[in-house]
Amino acid sequence: MVKSVIRSAKPSLPGPEDIYRAVLSNGITVLARSNFNSPSISIGGYLPAGAIFESDEKLGLADFVAACLMRGTQTHSFDAIYNELESVGASMGFDSGVHNTSFGGRSLVEDLPLLLSLLSETMRTPTFPKPEVEKLRAQLLTGLAMRAQDTSDMAAMAFDRMLFDGHPYSRPGDGFVETIQSITRKDMQEFHCLHFGPRGMVIAIVGAIDPKKAVDAVSRFLGSWQVPGQVRAKEMPAHKPVKKTIRHHHTLAGKSQSDLVIGMVGPQRNSPEYMPASLGNSVLGQFGMMGRIGEVVREKSGLAYYASSSMGAGIGPGSWEVNAGVNPKNLKKAIDLIEKELRRFVKDGVTKKELSDSQANFIGRLPLSLESNGGVVSALLSIERYELGLDYYHRYADMVRTVTRGDVLETARKFIDPDRLVISTAGP
Amino acid sequence: MADQITQSVLKNGMKVMLKEIHTAPIISSWLWYRVGSKDEPTGKTGVSHWTEHMQFKGTKKFPSSMLDKAISREGGRWNAATSHDATRYYETMPADKIDLALQLEADRMTNSIYSEKEVASERTVIISEREGHENEPMFRLGEAVQQTAFHVHPYHHEIIGDMADLHTITRDDLYEHYRKYYVPNNAVLAIAGDFETKSMLKRVKELFGSIPQGATPPRLARPEPEPKGEVRLSVEGPGETTFIQFAYRFPNATHPDYIPLQVLDSLLGGASGLSYKTSRLYRALVDKEYAVDVSGWSESTIDPFLYRITITNHPKRKPEETIAALDKEIQKLQEVLVSKDEIVRAVKQARAVFSYSSENISNQAFWMGYVEMFASYEWFTTYLDKLAKVTPKDVQRVAQMYLQSNSRVIGTYIPKGRGA
């Protein structure tokens, strides 16, 4: 049948020939790629103003600032900003992580100037109006009250705390009730003043526009931004290795399901170990119906609706973790099964068939992940953030294919020690 | 939305909808069955959703151990979902691999095994899925509101089913449900992507054309009587946050009032898929600090369902204050004509959301089959034009007719603290 269904579209992976990259004189890196298949446009990006700059006493400050940027500027009120966006069906938003504050948006292509103008304005001249700060504070505190009742959130939070003890990755980006209460408008203004600036900022634009015109548009709205005092981030401290398995249970009464997180530290995104670890992780807890973990915990034992593994590789070492939601009485059984799978994984590695299946999956799924403008924006930002090279997606298939069973086993053994796990649970 | 599609009905009654899109080497295939939680009598609630799970447990040709792996190996994405009115299965694949998905769907339309062992293992998986939902205050509240809004119509129960039935439904119940509803004359296959229509239709006929037609499955029809007045209820549980849900009875998707009600929904809660900070409810409730969040939500259904407004209450407000503030806003919509500009804005928002969705081939295939479950493809292609014809008076009329306090349910989740 395959021959009779004529294919006419060519696989079109982003590469040096169609990604336009430019660095503006103030340090902003712009990446752009055309897609004229629909009249819309997506933007995304980040600047180095993350939670890494917060003190323990003001935890949640970067998050609070990011949430406040669109609450009022020197020329627009909160309502006016959203009125401009929503009237044309556009959207825009900010979020913060440990390293960066990120942004994203989309609109019909004719509204790109509006999007960029508001992006520039909200990043450069936010006023943090007092009534808006207080409204937002109440919303953040309600968010924290809801988090305190969420088994998945509470298990994840304790997991990060134990895994990255003493490291910035141990802290929750949305802070705690007392830290959110202590943050003042002045703290926010100061944070903005010191950390928001063009140096280190990256923006990607994908959609129905000529890439050079996209770069010109960014230059028009953000090219004149200068912040001489923009503070650089300090070196990240090394994380302390876990010496023996640590367990923690967070009790939440009245819940019918418990959540568990079991894991360890994994590789960084740009390390050579990332690809073998990622393929190994696919076998462990992704491929098919959530890999080996899904097979034993869900399919064979019927213990959980979801049970899978994931890697949080980023600029620094991310977690490599298994997550599941189970009936409280099955918690121990599920943990035992997962530990057993981890032991098997580091003892025997993966089979030839398992590895080739996951390799085929990684290569085959690429066009799907790059289908939408938003998907391509994410891909371009990863290329820049992790210095993967503009030809990364052209080299990708070869990089996947050349990983051997030995590479996977070696990587698994380097990162996973079944006697030094962090096991965090939350539930009744 | 200038959509050229090919529609065809096979001799066995299966409807096929094909849309060529040559923007990326991808094909997305969606197989829809006209069966959902609306077809479940008391004692068998959740059987449609459970059947959907069982469809992943294998056939002789594609045993469960290789089914999911076969799709994943080719880089495909696949899943399924059950709604009130329909059950759908989809695969989005690299274009040259779509045949595997089509073979698989044709095979599991008739050859799924449903072993006792697999049923037993899936029972606990689904119970676990429900327990996960029950962890969420909003699920508990939403379930109570829905049960109160419908006493007779099977929209009364949650799609996942009542816990009692999840313990007692048997293998034979599931298999019988499967055989009754999974027949070609009860199915719609919608495929979009990088193919040539004539060849694709030929291949679909080869794979599905020989599956025998079955008896036309009946849809369960137990119309809900008109509400007799407002009902208020409360649900208690752990936590510190109060949630409120309003539920108004809304007409089905093909009712003429459905379109002006979509404009009303957009004005109240914002356009679907966009931020909603300038919507009437955000301005009246969140901006004025009655709520920390609010959302409006309706569904396109075969029978009349609900329009629900869900509020995360502000900690400094009593629920009654927030309810009164919302009532005031609804009253305003009933008494004061909205401006023409507001309607123009809602139409522009909808147009933008349609454009975003056309970036994605899976979405385009989804919409073809989705609308077929409650209307026809024309409903979709004429949607924006119909929306543009709505007048301020239409919006006022439907606000007066459907947002009546004497036909609604208001549920409140009352938090009993961390130790509850």
Nearest CB to B122 within list A106, A302, A326: A302
What's the pLDDT score for residue A235? 84
Backbone φ and ψ for B70, nearest 5 degrees, come out as -60, -45
Cβ-defined contact of B360 to A371 (cutoff 8 Å)? yes
What's the pLDDT band for A149 if we cut at 50, 70, 90? very high
Question: Which chain B residues are Cβ-neighbours of A36 within 8 angstroms?
Answer: none
Reading the block at residue A200, the tokens are 């280190």
Please determine, for residue A6, whether its predicted confidence score (pLDDT) is greater than 60.
no
Nearest CB to A288 within list B24, B72, B120: B72
- Percent of chain A, pLDDT > 70? 97
CB of A351 within 8 Å of any CB in chain B?
no
What's the pLDDT score for residue A3? 41
Short-list B355, B284, B351, CA closest to B323 = B284
Q: Which of A5-9, A396-400, B358-362 has the highest mean pLDDT?
A: A396-400
Asked whether the beta carbons of A82 and A70 are under 8 A apart, the reply is: yes
CB of B94 within 8 Å of any CB in chain A?
yes
Question: Which chain A residues are Cβ-neighbours of B192 within 8 angstroms?
Answer: none
Nearest CB to B349 within list A89, A302, A303: A89
| A:318-337 residues touching chain B, CB 8 A cutoff | 325-327
**Between vectors from CA A377 to CA B358 and to CA A152, what angle results, nearest 5°?**
90
Task: Give strand ranges (E) for B179-253.
Answer: 187-193, 231-237, 243-250
CB of B124 within 8 Å of any CB in chain A?
yes
Cβ-defined contact of A371 to B353 (cutoff 8 Å)? no
Indicate the length of chain A as a whole number. 428
Question: Which chain A residues are Cβ-neighbours of B92 within 8 angstroms?
Answer: 368
Domains in chain A, start-ordered, CATH in brackets? 20-222 (3.30.830.10), 246-427 (3.30.830.10)
B137-146: pLDDT as tens digits: 999 999 999 9
Cβ-defined contact of A357 to B69 (cutoff 8 Å)? yes
Reading the block at residue B77, the tokens are 């994405």
Burial B236-273 (b: 16+ CB within 10 A, else e): ebbbbbbbbbbbbbbbbbeeebbbbbbbbbbbbbbbee
Nearest CB to A288 within list B69, B241, B293: B69
Please determine, for residue A396, whether its predicted confidence score (pLDDT) is greater than 50.
yes
Cβ-defined contact of B352 to A256 (cutoff 8 Å)? no
Bridging pattern class, strands B187-193 and B291-298 = unpaired
Instruction: State how far Cα B83 lies from the chain centre.
Output: 5
Please determine, for residue A112, whether its predicted confidence score (pLDDT) is greater than 80.
yes
Short-list A347, A350, A365, CA closest to A279 = A350
Identify the three-state secondary structure at position B376. Answer: coil
Three-state secondary structure string covering chain A: CCCCCCCCCCCCCCCCCCCEEEECCCCCEEEEEECCCCCEEEEEEEECCCHHHCCHHHCCHHHHHHHHHHHEECCCEHHHHHHHHHHCCCEEEEEECCCCEEEEEEEEHHHHHHHHHHHHHHHHCECCCHHHHHHHHHHHHHHHHHHCCCHHHHHHHHHHHHHCCCCHHHCCCCCCHHHHHHCCHHHHHHHHHHHCCCCCCEEEEEECCCHHHHHHHHHHHHCCCCCCCCCCCCCCCCCCCCCCCEEEEEECCCCCCEEEEEEEECCCCCCCCHHHHHHHHHHHHCHHHHHHHHHHHHHHCCCEEEEEEEECCCCCCCEEEEEEEECHHHHHHHHHHHHHHHHHHHHHCCCHHHHHHHHHHHHHCHHHHCCCHHHHHHHHHHHHHCCCCCCHHHHHHHHHHCCCHHHHHHHHHHHCCCCCCEEEEEEC
| B:174-233 residues touching chain A, CB 8 A cutoff | 194-196, 199-200, 202-203, 206
A174-210: pLDDT as tens digits: 999 999 999 999 999 999 999 999 999 999 999 999 9
State how far residue B229 is from chain A, nearest Cα, in angstroms: 33
Least CA distance to B240: which residue of chain A?
A145
Cβ–Cβ contacts within 10 Å for residue B1, how many? 12
Question: Which chain A residues are Cβ-neighbours of B312 within 8 angstroms?
Answer: 142, 146
Cβ-defined contact of B355 to A11 (cutoff 8 Å)? no
Average confidence (pLDDT) over A147-172: 96
CA distance A239 to A249: 23
Please determine, for residue A10, whether its predicted confidence score (pLDDT) is greater than 80.
no
What's the pLDDT score for residue A8? 59
Cβ-defined contact of A86 to B122 (cutoff 8 Å)? no
CA distance A361 to B72: 6
Residue B38 DSSP code: G
Domains in chain B, start-ordered, CATH in brackets? 6-208 (3.30.830.10), 231-415 (3.30.830.10)
Per-residue DSSP letters for B293-324? EEEEEE---SS-EEEEEEEEE-TTS-HHHHHH
Nearest CB to A37 within list B199, B353, B359: B359
| B:371-410 residues touching chain A, CB 8 A cutoff | none
State how far residue A38 is from chain B, nearest Cα, in angstroms: 6
CA distance B25 to B195: 9
What's the pLDDT score for residue A2? 41
Nearest CB to A38 within list B76, B120, B358: B358
State how far residue B26 is from chain A, nearest Cα, in angstroms: 7
Residue B166 DSSP code: H
Contacts of A178 (CB under 8 A, 6+ apart): none
Ranges of residues in chain B whose predicted pLDDT is under 50: 1-2, 420
What's the pLDDT score for residue B65? 74
Asked whether the beta carbons of A89 and B271 are under 8 A apart, the reply is: yes
Least CA distance to B73: which residue of chain A?
A361
Question: Which chain A residues are Cβ-neighbours of B46 within 8 angstroms?
Answer: none
CA distance B351 to B255: 22
CA distance B64 to B121: 13
State how far residue B413 is from chain A, nearest Cα, in angstroms: 13
CB of A372 within 8 Å of any CB in chain B?
yes
Cβ-defined contact of A86 to B360 (cutoff 8 Å)? no
Reading the block at residue A259, the tokens are 């959540």
| B:139-168 residues touching chain A, CB 8 A cutoff | none
Average confidence (pLDDT) over A267-274: 96
Bridging pattern class, strands A101-108 and A91-96 = antiparallel
Contacts of A69 (CB under 8 A, 6+ apart): A94, A122, A123, A126
What's the pLDDT score for residue B418? 65
Cβ-defined contact of A79 to B277 (cutoff 8 Å)? yes
CB of B127 within 8 Å of any CB in chain A?
yes
State how far residue B207 is from chain A, nearest Cα, in angstroms: 11
* One-letter identity of residue B296: G
Q: Could you report the predicted ipTM of this complex, rounded to two decimals?
A: 0.90
Nearest CB to A5 within list B200, B239, B274: B200
Out of A50-59, A166-175, A299-308, B136-145, pick the least confident. Answer: A299-308
Cβ-defined contact of A89 to B352 (cutoff 8 Å)? yes
Please determine, for residue A1, whether its predicted confidence score (pLDDT) is greater than 50.
no
Alpha carbon distances (Å) from A43 to A108, A113, A232, A326, B119: 11, 12, 25, 39, 46
CB of A39 within 8 Å of any CB in chain B?
yes
Cβ-defined contact of A10 to B25 (cutoff 8 Å)? yes
What's the pLDDT score for residue A289? 85
Reading the block at residue A272, the tokens are 């050579």
